[in-house]
């Protein structure tokens, strides 16, 4: 008998933390000399003017990447396009960073701190269904299966927006009080099996050193938030993702005489119920959301044989480091104790994928006024946490960081009708890109100020 089950109950409770930005001062209220202010205002004007001028070019870059997307750790053409562009701007470039990534260093005309801006570059094994002239033309073999390749998470927009911001920042570099590091990252969606990759490898290879980065910013486009809007949340904003494997071992017997053996399938069913109880009965859900989902269960080959073993795999999502540890401990305790009560054994393996994306409190307090100035305060709102994961977390673990969500949905559309990320109908309204370019550039300028 082959048991295949989809994900079981996932309990999600969303919770917005208290606002901290409410007491943030507006930029105008900040103390600064008249000369500094006017110099800064000149930069802001230049950023906006250039963002208008290069908008068509940014959209063109995006379309080129969209038509010819590349899978994780295979972003060869994308990386080369980025590297050539940065070089043309006089930015110091390191190619093949963390396999196909690109590091760019732009030294400002004045001394100061170092700020990093990140864009991820990889596409997904999804066959595009959107009817646009620049729809993906690429196919690939993924996990042994031929599939289309599509920028179904919008990373093409991230690359294009950051290339645009680099062009603007290079133009105003004499006025920059510090250094900007551009992190064009491969393999956010996960490196192919057996390979290292992504933000974790970038950190390992020293992207945050030479020069030593003081703060990092990332932006993710959203297909379900209106163009012109920016969402953020302080503290845990995207979940830690950990994979678990539970192997239950019983004793094989004839299906007609279960008392002669130890049934690992029944034990597994009890364990699944136990896992659900961890979230619904033992987790302080008013603190942060948490999810445990079993995505696969497999055991046995035939109707009248109780098998020797049964295996489950699943995912754990948490938004708080302490809760993450507690939930991991409870999973081990629950699985092994339930198995023991039946005379079976359970082996539990928990494999980390990405930590919590943590928006630094101080940095958020300092920078949200900039975001509000750029987007208009009425367009910036605090969002609830997301139980999806992002490997930007590896940067946020090392340096104070802030990760924002940028609207990419056509104005007036309902989010319910907007196709989600990672699906064949995923669509981004390109009129939202200019705000992303401006946001990247302004965050760098204001952080260094
Ligand atoms: Zn994605
Ligand atoms: Zn993504």
Q: What is the pLDDT of residues 339-389, one digit of tens each?
A: 999 999 999 999 999 999 999 999 999 999 999 999 999 999 999 999 999
Q: Tell me, what's the pLDDT at 38?
A: 64
Q: Where in the chain is the domain with CATH 3.40.630.10?
A: 39-239+374-448
Q: Check pLDDT > 90 for residue 446.
A: yes
The CATH label, of 3.40.50.300, 3.30.70.360, 2.70.98.60, 3.40.120.10, for the domain at 240-354 is 3.30.70.360
pLDDT of 257 strictly over 80: yes
Give mean pLDDT, residues 171-182.
Answer: 97
CA of 214 to the centre of ligand 2 (A): 24
Average pLDDT over residues 171-175: 97
Confidence bin at 6 (pLDDT 50/70/90):
very low
Ligand 2 centroid from CA 357, angstroms: 13
Q: What is the mean pLDDT of residues 220-230?
A: 98
pLDDT of residue 143: 84
| Distance from Cα 383 to the centre of ligand 1, integer Å | 18
C-alpha of residue 228 to centroid of ligand 1, in Å: 21
pLDDT at site 18:
32
Torsion of CA 398, 97, 194, 4, to 10 degrees: 70
Q: Does residue 239 contact residue 293 with C-beta atoms inside 8 Å?
A: no
Q: What is the pLDDT of residues 375-428, one digit of tens each?
A: 999 999 999 999 999 999 999 999 999 999 999 999 999 999 999 999 999 999
pLDDT band for 112, please (50, 70, 90 cuts).
very high
Give the Å distance between the CA of 120 and the centre of ligand 1: 10
Local confidence band at 86 (pLDDT 50, 70, 90 cut-offs) = very high
Percent of the chain with pLDDT over 90: 90
- Average pLDDT on 320-345 reads 97
What's domain 39-239+374-448's architecture?
3-Layer(aba) Sandwich (3.40)
Q: Which band of pLDDT confidence, cut at 50, 70 and 90, is reported for residue 327?
A: very high
429 Cα to the center of ligand 1, angstroms: 17
Distance 61 CA to ligand 2 centre (A): 18
Query: Is the model's pLDDT at 442 over the cut of 80?
Result: yes
* CA 26 to ligand 1 centroid distance, Å: 34
| Residue range(s) in the chain whose domain bears CATH number 3.30.70.360 | 240-354
Q: What is the mean pLDDT of residues 88-98?
A: 98
CA of 240 to the centre of ligand 2 (A): 15
The CA 403 to ligand 1 mean position distance, Å, reads 15
pLDDT band at 24 (very low <50, low <70, confident <90, very high): very low
Q: How far is the CA of 172 from the centre of ligand 2 (A)?
A: 29
Q: Is the pLDDT of residue 168 over 90?
A: yes
150 token code pair: 């599509």
CA–centroid distance, residue 18 to ligand 1 (Å): 28
pLDDT of 193 reads 86
Above 80 in pLDDT, residue 118? yes
Ligand that comes closest to the CA of residue 422: 1
Centroid of ligand 1 to alpha carbon of 83 (angstroms):
23
Distance 137 CA to ligand 2 centre (A): 20
> Furthest-apart CA pair in the chain: how many Å?
88
How far, in Å, is the centroid of ligand 1 from the Cα of 257? 48
pLDDT at 10 over 90: no
Centre of ligand 2 from the C-alpha of residue 308, in Å:
40
């Amino acid at each position: 008998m082959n048991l295949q089950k989809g994900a079981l109950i996932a309990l999600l409770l969303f919770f917005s933390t208290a606002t901290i930005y409410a007491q943030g001062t507006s930029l105008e209220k900040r103390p600064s000399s008249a000369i500094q202010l006017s110099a800064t205002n000149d930069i802001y004007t230049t950023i906006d003017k250039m963002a208008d001028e290069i908008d068509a070019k940014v959209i063109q870059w995006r379309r080129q990447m969209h038509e010819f997307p590349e899978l994780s750790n295979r972003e060869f053409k994308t990386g080369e396009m980025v590297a050539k562009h940065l070089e043309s701007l006089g930015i110091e470039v390191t190619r093949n960073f963390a396999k196909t990534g690109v590091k760019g260093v732009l030294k400002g005309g004045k001394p100061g701190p170092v700020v990093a801006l990140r864009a991820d570059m990889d596409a997904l094994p999804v066959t595009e269904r959107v009817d646009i002239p620049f729809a993906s033309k690429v196919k690939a073999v993924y996990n042994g299966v031929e599939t289309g390749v599509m920028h179904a998470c919008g990373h093409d927009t991230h690359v294009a927006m950051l290339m645009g911001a680099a062009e603007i920042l290079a133009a105003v570099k004499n006025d920059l009080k510090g250094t900007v590091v551009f992190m064009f990252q491969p393999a956010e969606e996960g490196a192919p099996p057996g390979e290292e990759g992504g933000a974790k490898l970038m950190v390992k290879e020293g992207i945050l050193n030479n020069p030593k980065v003081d703060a990092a910013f990332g932006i993710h486009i959203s297909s379900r938030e209106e163009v012109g809007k920016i969402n953020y949340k302080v503290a845990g904003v995207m979940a830690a993702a950990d994979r678990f494997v539970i192997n239950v071992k019983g004793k094989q017997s004839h299906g007609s005489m279960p008392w002669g053996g130890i049934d690992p399938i029944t034990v597994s069913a009890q364990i699944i119920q136990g896992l659900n109880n961890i979230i619904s009965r033992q987790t302080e859900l008013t603190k942060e959301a948490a999810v445990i989902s079993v995505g696969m269960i497999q055991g046995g080959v035939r109707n009248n044989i109780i098998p020797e073993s049964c295996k489950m795999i699943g995912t754990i999502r948490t938004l708080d480091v302490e809760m993450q540890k507690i939930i991991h401990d409870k999973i081990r305790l629950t699985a092994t104790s339930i198995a023991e009560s039946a005379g079976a054994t359970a082996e539990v393996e928990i494999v980390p994928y990405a930590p919590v994306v943590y928006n630094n409190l101080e940095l958020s307090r300092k920078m949200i006024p900039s975001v509000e100035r750029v987007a208009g305060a009425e367009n910036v709102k605090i969002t609830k946490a997301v139980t999806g994961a992002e490997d930007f977390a590896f940067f946020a673990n090392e340096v104070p960081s802030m990760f924002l969500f940028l609207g990419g949905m056509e104005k007036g559309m309902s989010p319910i009708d907007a196709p989600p990320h990672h699906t064949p109908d995923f669509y981004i309204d390109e009129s939202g890109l200019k705000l992303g370019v401006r946001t990247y550039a302004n965050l760098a300028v204001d952080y260094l100020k």
